[in-house]
Structure 1
Amino acid sequence: MRYYQPSAGDDSRLCVKTGGNAYDLTSANQNIREFRDLLRASSIADLTIDEVTERLIENLDPLDEDGEIEGLPLVADEVWAAGVTYQISEQAREQESSMPDMYLNVYDSNRPEVFFKATPSRVVGPTEDVGIRSDSDWDVPEPELAVVLYQGEIVGYTIGNDMSSRSIEGENPLYLPQAKVYDRCCSIGPYVRSADSLEDPHDLKMNMEISRDERILYEGETSTAEMVRTVPELVDCYTKHNAVPELSVLLTGTSLVPDDGFSLREGDVVDIEIDDIGTLTNSVTTV
């Protein structure tokens, strides 16, 4: 099942796509207006979110809509991210950095790199603008499989864009927070695929397309099978010895990196698609 919010703002409601149809869960129960509400209901009922949903849609008619999704599928209390989980990410970090050996050590080490990425105010949804810093001259999107956690447990998957300043991080690894954490530094959506309905998060095709003035500048494709870490391993590192919030998102690492000569500009459009989840589209603005 894929959960989404078709619109943003006060008129938001939680919907689901399943079996080729879409249903408005809020119309079945006005207390379920966002993904967090469904998670709390499933916890109280001791059922999975899909089991709760099956009961809610029993007497509902399918929706007759196929428009653009504008709302965030969930508002996470915090977003974290993992780094150097794909070989291409290790190579890119080495090329940009004045201290390349440190990234090789992370890629081969027992402990993965996990770092804080964003608060809710820094996260945007589908169709919104992601940001590039005005004090950076080398900026890229980073397409990632994102894990959704409720009370530290995996409940679903979505798509994440970990916007990054390669020039700032490359200048000094200690500048990583400035390269990663800023206004509009992260986007997620448009759907949350329930964990129970996704057969294998380690075997998903992923592709990214970047266009400028309707001209494609970059196209790339990969698979989560290329990830050197497993999802449970990354989640364990994030949650261990850490008071995680009720609802959080963990990005699992960069799988596609544009060539060194490429940098995003204001007005560019980034499309990230992951099989069985959807396509996340964002335009770019300067912050």
Structure 2
Amino acid sequence: MVFEGQVYTVAAINEAIGADFATDVLGIIRNDETAGLSQALADVHGKIEGRSVADVSFAPPYRNPPKLWGFGPNYHRHAQDLGTVPPPNGPGAWSRAVRNLIGPEDEIILPPQSNRVTAEAEIALIIGKECRNITPEEAPSVIFGYTTMLDMTAEDLLRENLRYAARAKGFETFCSVGPFVVTADEIDDLQSVRIATKVNDEVIADSPVSMMVRDPYWLVSYHSQMTVLEVGDIIGTGTPGAGVITDGDLVRAEVQGVGELRNRARAAR
């Protein structure tokens, strides 16, 4: 947990107060322990030692989400970049194998099968309550929080045939999330949150959630019409713009109020 720029482990909190909170993010979500942990941290703050955020190496919030989903194109600009238009009845959707998932500072491996890989910054939703067939108005009640995502695409394969979306996005290391999870109550105005894709020092795209074709609550409802949403599911919401990445490039996804995610691209060896 992060408080005033310091990172505190749940294990240290448990030891300080004799508690038994889950020590992994997915367990905390499943057990609905956020409020209790926040109070516990407030009680022990100053009594246990934390570490500066700058001194901590982060992994993905968890490596075993029940489902890992993406949507797109969900911004008009990105659709134009791909030479298409957003589908009228809802964006395209795809799932990924959990093995695809990487975290902050891990390497994005550029596969030899593609000559044009792009990286896309997104705000991702984390489901906190199992649900099915919910309305957009009900969606806020099932969202645990938000994290930062980088979604990679072998764009030349996708342009060859849109039916290749699963392959174009299915290479290992093609989805990164983290380093932080921000609970839904910490975002005062979701529509104003800005998402930026950056490659090295270049800002590729920077847009607020309000520029989405379909807002996050609509996406949760839409997805719940297809399948049960499980606690811990991670859902990407689309990108305002994708940047081409090559060997050695530093890719950054910045989500206002949620955090910055950094990964470097490396050619497959």
Q: TM-score, normalised by structure 2?
A: 0.84
Does structure 2 retain, via aligned residues, the 8 Å contact 1:84–1:253?
Answer: yes
Instruction: Give the structure 2 partner of residue 34 of structure 1.
Output: 24
Q: TM-score, normalised by structure 1?
A: 0.79
Deviations 1:13-64 (A, max 9, x none): xxx123554432222235522111211221xxxxxx5412223212243513
- Do the aligned partners of 2:196 and 2:203 also contact (CA within 8 Å) in 1? no
Q: Shift of residue 119 of structure 1? A: 2.3
Shift of the 60–226 alpha-carbon distance from structure 1 to 2, 3 Å rule, reads: same
State how far apart, in whole Å, the 2-side matches of 1:236 and 1:171 are: 31
Corresponding residue for 1:52?
36
Q: CA RMSD in A?
A: 2.0
Counterpart of 1:104? Answer: 85
Question: Percent of pairs identical after alignment?
Answer: 21
**CA distance in 1: counterparts of 2:38 and 2:265, whole angstroms:** 38
2:188 paired residue number:
199
* 1:202 partner SS: helix
Give 2:116's match in structure 1, choosing from 106, 114, 138.
138
Aligned positions of 1:233-248 closer than 5 A: 233-248=218-233
Q: Which residue of 183, 187, 209 maps to 1:224? A: 209
CA 1:158–1:168: 2 relative to 1, 3 Å? same
**Match of 1:145, SS?**
strand
Letter in 1 for 2:254: E
Give the Cα separation in 1 of the matches to 2:230 and 2:34. Answer: 22
Measure, in 1, the Cα distance between the counterparts of 2:266 and 2:237. 24
Structure 1 stretches lacking a partner, 5+ long: 1-15, 43-48, 95-102
Amino acid at match of 1:87: H
Give the Cα–Cα distance (whole angstroms) in 2 for the partners of residues 174 and 219 of structure 1. 26
State the match for 1:74 in structure 2.
62
Paired residue type of 1:282: N
Aligned residues: 247
* 3-state SS, counterpart of residue 137 of structure 1: coil
Measured against aligned partners, the alpha-carbon deviations of 1:68-88 in whole angstroms (never above 9, x if no partner) come to: 432111232221011021011
Structure 1 residue 105: deviation in Å? Answer: 5.5
Q: State the SS of the aligned residue for 1:158.
A: strand
Residue 225 of structure 1 aligns with an amino acid whose one-letter code is S
Note closer, same or farther for the CA distance 1:242–1:179 as it changes in structure 2 (3 Å cut). same
Aligned to 1:285: 266
Structure 1 counterpart of 2:26, which letter?
Answer: R
Counterpart CA distance in 1 for 2:5 and 2:113 is 46
1:198-232 Cα offsets, whole Å, 9 max, x none, are 11222112223212xxxx35544222221121111
Change (3 A) 1:105 1:64: closer
1:52 aligned partner, one-letter code: G
In structure 1, the residue corresponding to 2:61 is in which secondary structure?
coil
Q: Equivalent residue of 2:253, what SS?
A: strand
Q: What's 1:115 paired with?
A: 94
Which residue pairs with 2:234 in the alignment? 249
Distance 1:123 1:64 in 2: 26
8 Å contact from structure 2 (residues 195, 256) kept in 1: yes
Tell me how far apart the structure 2 counterparts of residues 284 and 105 of structure 1 sit (CA, whole Å). 28
Please give the alpha-carbon distance, in whole angstroms, between the structure 2 residues aligned to 1:38 and 1:172.
Answer: 41
Secondary structure, aligned partner of 2:148: strand
